[in-house]
């Protein structure tokens, strides 16, 4: 566990020192709050007005926008996790520590996950305070959405890390991970027009599909938790196998 924590501290400190992380976090917070207050969520079947237009004390719009925004922010936080290590040649040095590939993968995951959750909290908390002052805010719905957002962040980060482990270029890792996550999100827009078997596959592989139909409304079931945890675990397993193969090779 001490080895994992050492990697977490290393990765978290590196992220805080990177200007790109601060820029991405600021853009995320500004975009999320602007969409919540003014645009609403006019996408697909899940449509909500903005706060000023709807006048409802709810954070559903805020939670509904997290999947597409995570499709950009998660790759921004994970693109250099392995790609930059490989490009600069420091991956060999990292794995030369008294450190297993499993510990390195887990440490990078926990650091990126914590950073994404922290940025989300900073963006969401002021909005929750404002909405609570404007009207009665259902804290149960907020709690369900928040827990779902944490799980969605974990799955998004795990997928981003797999992509980063497959390339040497940060920009390529960012674009590919963003494409994958955006594809999983946009697939949910076509659930009613695709064959039932295709819709079932979307539910099986897309964390966004389950999130938008449950946690975004503040309703989080055990099946949703298991889905997100299993998807993140599978992505971490693939990440470990990729790194371990390079270490032995």
Q: At what angle do helices 101-134 and 139-164 cross, to 10 degrees?
A: 150
Instruction: Name, of 3-12, 42-51, 182-191, 233-242, the range with top average pLDDT.
Output: 233-242
Radius of gyration (Cα) for the chain, nearest Å?
18
User: Per residue in 64-99, pLDDT tens?
Assistant: 899 999 999 999 999 988 988 888 877 777 777 777
The total number of structural domains in the chain stands at: 1
Residue 104 to residue 3: CA distance in whole angstroms: 8
pLDDT at 157: 97
Residue 37 to residue 11: CA distance in whole angstroms: 34
Residue 244 to residue 9: CA distance in whole angstroms: 22
pLDDT at 54: 58
60 — pLDDT class (breaks 50, 70, 90): confident
53 — pLDDT class (breaks 50, 70, 90): low
User: What are the residue ranges of helices labelled H in the chain?
Assistant: 2-17, 19-34, 51-54, 60-64, 66-88, 90-96, 101-134, 139-164, 170-187, 196-205, 207-213, 222-248
Look up the pTM and report it: 0.89
User: Per residue in 139-193, pLDDT tens?
Assistant: 888 888 899 999 999 999 999 999 999 999 999 999 999 999 998 888 877 776 7
pLDDT at 169: 93
Residue 197 domain boundaries: 2-248
């Amino acid at each position: 566990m001490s080895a994992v924590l050492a990697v977490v501290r290393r990765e978290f400190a590196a992220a805080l020192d990177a200007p790109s992380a601060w820029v991405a976090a600021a853009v995320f917070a500004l975009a999320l709050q602007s969409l919540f207050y003014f645009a609403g969520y006019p996408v697909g079947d899940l449509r909500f007005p903005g706060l000023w237009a709807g006048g409802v004390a709810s954070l559903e719009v805020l939670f509904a926008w997290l999947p597409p925004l995570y499709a950009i922010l998660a790759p921004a936080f994970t693109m250099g996790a392995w790609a930059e290590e490989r490009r600069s040649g420091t991956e060999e040095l990292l794995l030369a520590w008294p450190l297993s590939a499993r510990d390195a993968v887990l440490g990078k995951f926990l650091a990126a996950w914590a950073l994404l959750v922290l940025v989300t909290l900073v963006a969401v908390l002021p909005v929750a305070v404002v909405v609570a002052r404007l009207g009665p805010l259902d804290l149960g719905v907020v709690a369900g959405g928040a827990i779902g957002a944490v799980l969605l962040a974990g799955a998004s980060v795990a997928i981003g890390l797999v992509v980063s482990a497959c390339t040497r270029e940060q920009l390529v890792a960012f674009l590919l991970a963003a494409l994958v996550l955006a594809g999983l999100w946009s697939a949910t827009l076509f659930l009613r027009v695709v064959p039932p078997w295709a819709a079932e596959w979307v539910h099986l592989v897309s964390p966004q599909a389950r999130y938008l139909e449950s946690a975004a409304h503040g309703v989080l079931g055990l099946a949703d938790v298991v889905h997100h945890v299993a998807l993140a675990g599978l992505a971490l397993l693939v990440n470990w196998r990729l790194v371990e193969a390079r270490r032995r090779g």
